[in-house]
Structure 1
């Protein structure tokens, strides 16, 4: 089968006709971005074959927002030397015409002939679904469904069986099925499909587990009983021995002895602390006496130093007094120079101010001239704007209403053409002297009339002919045209115009006027951004500023030739200021130094007099002798305290108070522990005796023996069912493998085509199919040896590639069986990496040598090397 031409009209985004001619017998590549119409073309082909022309469930074919459209598809193709042409329309114009070498099959007959040719079914009710698509559903891959293969193969199963010559049916209905089903049924009583236990087998295992758990629990109880008997005897012996030894009483006495010894040592420590404090006080007194004696010696030395400082201060004060007159003279001269420089600077500043005011006056005069011109221009623009806005109000018209009027008029023109096409044509050719009456109007000569409503032709002396135009389309078009005419008149009345041309003219004139208003508003904003009033106020303010500047300039002195420049005057003043500040700083420093010298001299005199008076005091010698005697007494007391502290410290260390404290704590805790341990033995004896009395009444040994017997019986039952389950499982596996081998022999033609394509994609690989010809396991050679992957466990990209290879193998099988094939791929292989895509393009190119293929993609760069010229869907629409 070779598709030659495709034409679609009023179908989804193709409102206008789109036609594709001269399709190649091999690969045909269509490219375009998303939403360009690729999927719409695929939908058009599917609708032409799969959807009944009378179906009312194909509203998705209509262009968006156009409920009056009649989607139409035309297909030209060849098959076995015959030319086939299909024209099918839906919804508003329902028809199906199939022409085969000049023979026309219309309506249901044409659709049934197509379904028999390609191998698919029509939906009994509603839109067509995947389950109806048969072989085309297998060979035509929808966008985003390339990895799905099981459903399409199942829905095309009957036609694939026919291609195999009925072998598949023989396999599935062979006599071995009864045995396999019987074995599977018996196995299912013991094992699930995944090999898990079920039925009596699962119950037997559960029973064994339950009894085993009970037996182990009972054995634990028996073991605990025996352990408790042994423990009871041990506790009785330990209790008797403890009652005899009574260790806790011995520990209590040892704790009391340690406490008494510790109290004695703590008394020694208190005496030690008192002597240590007395030693520290004695050492403090020694230090104070030493400082007193050293102070007597230091004051004599200090008196000599103060005498020297007093002489230096007197000499420094005399030197500073001799420098004072020179500094006073320098300050006076610098002050006079600074005063003259300030006067010069003030005159220069007045001259500079006069120049600046003159420059500002010139700028004000220029601004006045510019603002005056702007104000005149702005007033002129404002007047024109008012006039244009008044015109705009008189021309105002709704653009959306004009656009609707335009659409209604266009639809009326289109309906008029349709009406002419479907209306009944009445051609009249009368002799010169004859006339008739048509709908009450006299007709003579030759004329042609289009009748869309019933009409009457009155022939004088003969009678009346009634012409009744037939067909639903005529009445429907008439009603639609009348509705549109009413809409047109309503819109003309609303817009206050008599025609579309007048409305469009007014709209154009209004748009031009709006542009002029916008332009004048922009110019007015440039001339007066803040408005006419603001511009006028600014003009008045600048005039006032001009008058003020003129009066200020008149009040300032004019510059003469001897005037100093402002920069020179500022430099002279700055220099004079620096000289003055330097002179004043020198005088201030001298004054400060002189004041400091006087203060230093006064302090030196006071310190010398104070030290001299102290050294001459009459009791000084007596106090010095008393301090020496006190130092000797303190030294003797310090020596005695140190000897007593050392002896007592040795005594305390030998007594080891830390160890005595630990002994007291240890013996008390040992006594508590011994008493607590004896109480615990008493409680454990009572508990164990109660436990043994209760356990002895239950008869644990007898229960254990009975339960062990029941457990042996349950284990024998479980092993019996286990052997049966394994035998049935092995038998079912052998039978299934035998039938699978038979299936492989019968599916050799399909396997041959699969292997042909797989070698281009996965060298040394093979793909197994199940009895329903559905891909099952992909076998490849990997680094670690043979790899097997179930089809549903492969990656998305690998499933898509393997599914496409399978589809191409089915196509080859159908071609050998003499059935028509057409392969359509809508954005296929988008999940393939670069290396796999190269391999898949080899596969597609090879298949294109035998089958016609329509390949749609939004990734043109990936398909440039397919050896065909790509067709741009956007250009097809143009």
Structure 2
């Protein structure tokens, strides 16, 4: 198929006719900048073939704002030495005319003939979609879709397979498909796609497994039944033997004897505990008696010690009384020095107070004067501030509203300019002395007027002319002017001004007053940070404080000049006072400590004398002698009682150890457990006997062996049916595999012609690479050296290149099968680097020897070495096209 010329009219931006003629059999390079109409040309070609002429879904072809347009496409092409001419119109005048070597077709007949020729489908209703496009959808690449080839191949798959059928003849015959489908259907009744059982086959497998499990359960219950019968016999013998012999009675008798022996031991242990308590009491009494004896014997030593302590106390008292007079003299001297230092400090403080008052008076006078000046300035600033507030209030206006007013005025000016540009222009040049009237106003000499509304031109002596400006844009502009003028009037009224200039002047005055107000507020804060009232209060307080300082100065005593000059300073006087006070304090502390020492020594002397006399009187009395004799007798009796208790305890302890009470306790526990265990064992036998009898009666009523025989027969029946279906499934699966392998071999023979063309182009770009196609003729696995992956995993640019190579291979396949081919590329390969782009140019140049290629681009500089003359779309627009 060789497209010779394309003519379109009233399609999108091409309101005037555009002719793209003299198209070459090979590559045709059409270039133009963005929005120049390249995609519109591609859309026009697609609409001419894909869209039904009566379709209402082609509104995108209509030029903007032209409801009366009739989008028209005319195509002339040659195929199999026959001339074809197609003319198709949409929307207002729906037509489709096709002329093939003088034979005419029209309407649906013409469209169906084209669809059959190129290998696509027409939609039943609505717009044509991707699934309808078939072979052209594969070979005509829209902008930005070069890398997406899977769906295009899927939609063109039937036409591609038909072409392969023509090439390989009966090899591609689908006569065996019905057999494979029938076998797949029968196999699908028994097996899933992964070869697992399904349907009755799966149910039989589950039933067989369930029956086997039920039989296993019954076998286990039968085995348990037999075991329980044996267990019943053994347990009955054990129960009867224990009931006759009663072995637990002997254990109970042994338990009672062991408890009696332990009670006897407990009596001995209680006696032993009482005697131990008595021995402990005797030992405590003996220790107290010995302590009392020791205390009585130590009284003589205490009397000698107390006499020595009395002599020491008398000597210490004499020493302390001798130190009293020097300490009193030191105190009186220190007090005299302290009194003199105090008087000097008082004079220094009065002098410092006098100087401080002089400084305070000078400071307060300066502060009072400064506050007076600040108060005066603050008053002046406050008056100006009130005037600025009044000025701001008088000129108050909203800045945002003024800004909106400016915007409205600017929009009105722009709309006025725009309306004047599209308005009906009336110009005149009259002879001297002649005049006309336009809308009631006289015009003369020469001039010009832009008319937006209906106007009347009166010609004296002839009548009047009515002028009605036309066009939808003009009416829209007139309405927009009216709306903007009304909005401007409303905004002026809202601001209370007559014009934008007046509003801006008021805004300037308002902003100036606001700035002045802020400045004056800052000035007022600088002289009166806390307000004028606070400043006035500070001024009055300073005056009162100044007068108070002057009164204090007058009340200070005067000091003679020479004495004031030689008097020490306050700091020196305070230091002298501190030293004198420390010395006085030390002297008084020393005297106080001495007085305490004297009192302590006198008290110690009195206490020592009293204690010595008291102890002496006690030792010389008769009562003490009697106490010593009584104490000696009590000690002897306690020693004798202790010896008797120790002997008794030792003998009884030997007797208790011989009886071994720990072993007796173990015997009691052992005999008790033995009796309980034997009784519990007999009870357990009795309970187990009852349970076994009940269980055996229940199992015997169930007929376990009969159930097991029924289940075994049912299992045998299921097993025979399962084996039958199992053999059938294996046979069908084997047969399907054999047929599928044969079919795949045929498919590989079908793929061979397409693979040949793919390898031809791919070797130019990647000499060591292969691109395989699957049984649906879809490009899939891409291999390059040691790299292996799917085509969809390549980079965007590489997928775009592989997509174009695949399309060219499909075109070669179709051409070899005698099918028409036309390749349209809209801004393709834009993501290719320069090295890859060079290889793709070679591929395109090679393909152009067999196919016609329409290459649209906005980068003609990338295709300068393609070997074809580029055609400028902008230049084509300026050419006159005749009908």
TM-score, normalised to structure 2, is 0.71
Preserved CA contact (<8 Å) 2:62 2:70: yes
CA shift, 1:327, in A, is 0.6
- Report the counterpart of residue 583 of structure 1 in structure 2: 587
In structure 1, C-alpha distance between the alignment counterparts of 2:595 and 2:38, rounded to whole Å: 116
CA displacement, residues 77-134 of structure 1 (integer Å, 9 cap, x when unaligned): xxxxxxxxx999979999999999xxxx99989xx9xxx9xx99999999x9999998
CA shift, 1:562, in A, is 1.2
- Report the counterpart of residue 256 of structure 2 in structure 1: 256
Distance 1:432-1:503 versus aligned 2 partners, 3 A rule: same
- Report the counterpart of residue 533 of structure 2 in structure 1: 533
- Report the counterpart of residue 229 of structure 1 in structure 2: 229
Pairwise CA RMSD of aligned residues? 4.9
In structure 1, C-alpha distance between the alignment counterparts of 2:219 and 2:520, rounded to whole Å: 109
1:567 has 2:567 as partner:
no
CA shift, 1:541, in A, is 0.6
CA displacement, residues 752-791 of structure 1 (integer Å, 9 cap, x when unaligned): 99999999xxxx9998776678787788999xxx998997
- Report the counterpart of residue 417 of structure 1 in structure 2: 417
SS across alignment from 1:497: coil
CA displacement, residues 201-258 of structure 1 (integer Å, 9 cap, x when unaligned): 3322332233233223222322221221122122112112212321121121111111
CA shift, 1:333, in A, is 0.9
In structure 1, C-alpha distance between the alignment counterparts of 2:167 and 2:356, rounded to whole Å: 117
CA shift, 1:290, in A, is 1.2
1:607 has 2:644 as partner:
no
Among 708, 711, 719, which residue is 2:712 paired with? 708
In structure 2, C-alpha distance between the alignment counterparts of 1:621 and 1:509, rounded to whole Å: 128
Distance 1:568-1:749 versus aligned 2 partners, 3 A rule: farther
CA shift, 1:592, in A, is 1.0
Among 622, 640, 645, which residue is 1:641 paired with? 645
In structure 2, C-alpha distance between the alignment counterparts of 1:121 and 1:498, rounded to whole Å: 67
Distance 1:459-1:620 versus aligned 2 partners, 3 A rule: closer
- Report the counterpart of residue 616 of structure 1 in structure 2: 620
1:806 has 2:799 as partner:
yes
- Report the counterpart of residue 9 of structure 1 in structure 2: none
CA shift, 1:479, in A, is 1.3
Preserved CA contact (<8 Å) 2:290 2:635: yes
- Report the counterpart of residue 796 of structure 1 in structure 2: none
Distance 1:819-1:92 versus aligned 2 partners, 3 A rule: closer
CA shift, 1:536, in A, is 0.9
Correspondence 1:32-51 to 2 at 5 A: none
In structure 2, C-alpha distance between the alignment counterparts of 1:535 and 1:605, rounded to whole Å: 84
- Report the counterpart of residue 283 of structure 1 in structure 2: 283
Preserved CA contact (<8 Å) 2:748 2:775: no
CA displacement, residues 585-618 of structure 1 (integer Å, 9 cap, x when unaligned): 1111111111111121122112212221222122
- Report the counterpart of residue 294 of structure 1 in structure 2: 294
CA shift, 1:846, in A, is 5.2
Correspondence 1:771-786 to 2 at 5 A: none
SS across alignment from 2:450: strand
SS across alignment from 1:820: strand
CA shift, 1:556, in A, is 2.4
In structure 1, C-alpha distance between the alignment counterparts of 2:548 and 2:184, rounded to whole Å: 119
In structure 2, C-alpha distance between the alignment counterparts of 1:363 and 1:756, rounded to whole Å: 104
In structure 2, C-alpha distance between the alignment counterparts of 1:95 and 1:332, rounded to whole Å: 135
Among 799, 824, 838, which residue is 1:819 paired with? 824
Distance 1:754-1:509 versus aligned 2 partners, 3 A rule: farther
CA shift, 1:624, in A, is 2.1
In structure 1, C-alpha distance between the alignment counterparts of 2:230 and 2:43, rounded to whole Å: 90
- Report the counterpart of residue 386 of structure 1 in structure 2: 386
Correspondence 1:468-487 to 2 at 5 A: 468-487=468-487
Preserved CA contact (<8 Å) 1:50 1:121: no
Distance 1:788-1:441 versus aligned 2 partners, 3 A rule: closer
CA shift, 1:578, in A, is 1.0
Distance 1:214-1:286 versus aligned 2 partners, 3 A rule: same
- With 368-377 and 312-321 compared, the bigger mean Cα shift is at 368-377
Preserved CA contact (<8 Å) 2:782 2:790: yes
Distance 1:297-1:211 versus aligned 2 partners, 3 A rule: same
Preserved CA contact (<8 Å) 2:201 2:722: yes
- Report the counterpart of residue 549 of structure 1 in structure 2: 549
SS across alignment from 1:402: helix
CA displacement, residues 408-449 of structure 1 (integer Å, 9 cap, x when unaligned): 222222222332333333455555576665555555555444
Preserved CA contact (<8 Å) 2:334 2:587: yes
Distance 1:429-1:562 versus aligned 2 partners, 3 A rule: closer
CA shift, 1:324, in A, is 0.6
CA shift, 1:318, in A, is 0.5
Preserved CA contact (<8 Å) 1:208 1:714: yes
Correspondence 1:308-347 to 2 at 5 A: 308-347=308-347
Preserved CA contact (<8 Å) 1:251 1:670: yes
1:668 has 2:672 as partner:
yes
CA displacement, residues 699-744 of structure 1 (integer Å, 9 cap, x when unaligned): 2122212212322443454455456556666746747865885687
1:679 has 2:683 as partner:
yes
In structure 2, C-alpha distance between the alignment counterparts of 1:512 and 1:47, rounded to whole Å: 60
CA shift, 1:814, in A, is 5.3
Unaligned runs of 5+ in 2: 1-28, 45-59, 75-87, 96-114, 812-822, 842-855, 860-883
Preserved CA contact (<8 Å) 1:824 1:853: no
- Report the counterpart of residue 151 of structure 2 in structure 1: 154
In structure 2, C-alpha distance between the alignment counterparts of 1:390 and 1:739, rounded to whole Å: 102
Preserved CA contact (<8 Å) 1:753 1:809: no
SS across alignment from 1:498: coil
Preserved CA contact (<8 Å) 2:157 2:776: no
Correspondence 1:516-527 to 2 at 5 A: 516-527=516-527
- Report the counterpart of residue 199 of structure 1 in structure 2: 199
SS across alignment from 1:189: helix
- Report the counterpart of residue 242 of structure 1 in structure 2: 242
- Report the counterpart of residue 632 of structure 1 in structure 2: 636
Preserved CA contact (<8 Å) 1:232 1:688: yes
TM-score, normalised to structure 1, is 0.72
- With 417-426 and 687-696 compared, the bigger mean Cα shift is at 417-426
Preserved CA contact (<8 Å) 2:204 2:722: yes
CA displacement, residues 561-583 of structure 1 (integer Å, 9 cap, x when unaligned): 11111111011101101110111
SS across alignment from 2:497: coil
SS across alignment from 2:566: coil
Correspondence 1:358-373 to 2 at 5 A: 358-373=358-373
- Report the counterpart of residue 56 of structure 2 in structure 1: none
- With 497-506 and 742-751 compared, the bigger mean Cα shift is at 742-751
SS across alignment from 2:824: coil
Distance 1:238-1:274 versus aligned 2 partners, 3 A rule: same
- Report the counterpart of residue 5 of structure 1 in structure 2: none
In structure 2, C-alpha distance between the alignment counterparts of 1:386 and 1:125, rounded to whole Å: 77
Correspondence 1:47-62 to 2 at 5 A: none
CA shift, 1:163, in A, is 10
Preserved CA contact (<8 Å) 2:313 2:601: yes
Preserved CA contact (<8 Å) 1:130 1:137: no
Preserved CA contact (<8 Å) 1:427 1:447: yes
Preserved CA contact (<8 Å) 1:814 1:821: no
In structure 2, C-alpha distance between the alignment counterparts of 1:210 and 1:107, rounded to whole Å: 72
Preserved CA contact (<8 Å) 2:424 2:451: yes
In structure 2, C-alpha distance between the alignment counterparts of 1:515 and 1:726, rounded to whole Å: 100
- With 669-678 and 273-282 compared, the bigger mean Cα shift is at 669-678
In structure 2, C-alpha distance between the alignment counterparts of 1:478 and 1:169, rounded to whole Å: 68
In structure 2, C-alpha distance between the alignment counterparts of 1:169 and 1:515, rounded to whole Å: 93
CA shift, 1:288, in A, is 1.5
- With 689-698 and 543-552 compared, the bigger mean Cα shift is at 689-698
Unaligned runs of 5+ in 1: 1-24, 26-40, 52-85, 792-798, 826-840, 856-878
Correspondence 1:157-168 to 2 at 5 A: 158=155
